[in-house]
């Protein structure tokens, strides 16, 4: 993102699925004039977010104990837990990062140590409703990791998605959570709404994608940058995918 936006710009950044708040703190340091909103519905994680914000004296992040989705109200939230048998870091919470509003599917096959023994009810809202209530006219950047529910969050933006400039999100190529949209579903949605993909690391099961609104990137960086970056992303993706297949 630093290749597109100045570090001193007064950005509006949403960290959706903030977990313990590490990404929010990192963005607050990279963009000191930004206003950040950290969304995390799991109460124990939200306590950790608030603790870290105090510890690192970060004042530009607004913690939101909310689950963003495609509708406002309440929803069941499947809480993850567990730790690998031979975990490298005994103090690291491996299990609190896979909770979702979708029930688990193949994620339990890929990570057999991961448990889903509890489901709680959490409040939900939509991007569109939240921004209307807070008088937020635009979102410059969204960082989103919500375990298969990313497309539901974007659908909840409605026509407000025209006022979102950049989106970094986790994308899966297999159904880790029941009923979740897969890579092609996400890509079709984004392309139909005028976004272009500038990064893609979904080589096998899951990875991340970085999307920017076409009008925005053309205005900020011009046509040459856009086409160079798209070409670079294309060749990088297939080079790494082929290399991974050869190393199997």
Q: Per-residue confidence of the chain (248 residues) as pLDDT tens digits?
A: 888 999 999 999 999 999 999 999 999 999 999 999 999 999 999 999 999 999 999 999 999 999 999 999 999 999 999 988 777 766 778 889 999 999 999 998 888 999 999 999 999 999 999 999 999 999 999 999 999 999 999 999 999 999 999 999 999 999 999 999 999 999 999 999 999 999 999 999 999 999 999 999 999 999 999 999 989 898 888 888 787 777 66
Cα separation, 225 vs 244, in Å, equals 28
**What fold characterizes domain 12-246?**
Rossmann fold (3.40.50)
| Length of the chain as a residue count | 248
User: What pLDDT, on a 0 to 100 scale, did the predictor assign at position 243?
Assistant: 77
User: What pLDDT, on a 0 to 100 scale, did the predictor assign at position 238?
Assistant: 82
CB atoms within 10 A of CB 187: 18
Cα separation, 24 vs 13, in Å, equals 9
Annotated domain spans of the chain: 12-246
141 CB-near residues (< 8 Å, 6+ apart): 1, 5, 11, 12, 13, 14, 27, 165, 166, 167, 168
């Amino acid at each position: 993102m630093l290749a597109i936006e100045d570090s001193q710009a007064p950005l509006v950044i949403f960290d959706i699925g903030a977990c313990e708040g590490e990404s929010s703190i990192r963005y607050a340091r990279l963009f000191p004039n930004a206003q950040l909103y950290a969304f995390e519905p799991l109460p124990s994680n939200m306590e950790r977010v608030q603790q870290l914000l105090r510890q690192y004296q970060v004042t530009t992040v607004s913690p939101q104990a909310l689950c963003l989705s495609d509708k406002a109200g309440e929803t069941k939230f499947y809480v993850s837990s567990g730790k690998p048998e031979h975990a490298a870091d005994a103090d690291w919470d491996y299990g609190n990062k896979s909770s979702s509003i979708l029930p688990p599917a193949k994620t339990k096959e890929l990570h057999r140590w991961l448990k889903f023994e509890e489901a709680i009810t959490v409040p939900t809202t939509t991007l569109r409703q939240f921004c209307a209530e807070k008088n937020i006219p635009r979102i410059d950047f969204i960082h989103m990791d919500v375990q298969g529910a990313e497309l539901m969050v974007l659908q909840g933006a409605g026509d407000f998605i025209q006022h979102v400039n950049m989106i970094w999100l986790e994308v899966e190529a297999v159904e880790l959570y029941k009923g979740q949209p897969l890579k092609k579903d996400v890509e079709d949605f984004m392309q139909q709404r005028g976004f272009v993909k500038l990064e893609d690391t979904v080589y096998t099961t899951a990875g991340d994608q970085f999307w920017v609104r076409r009008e925005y990137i053309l205005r900020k960086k011009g046509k040459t940058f856009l086409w160079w970056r798209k070409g670079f992303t294309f060749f990088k993706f297939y080079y790494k995918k082929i290399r991974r297949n050869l190393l199997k």
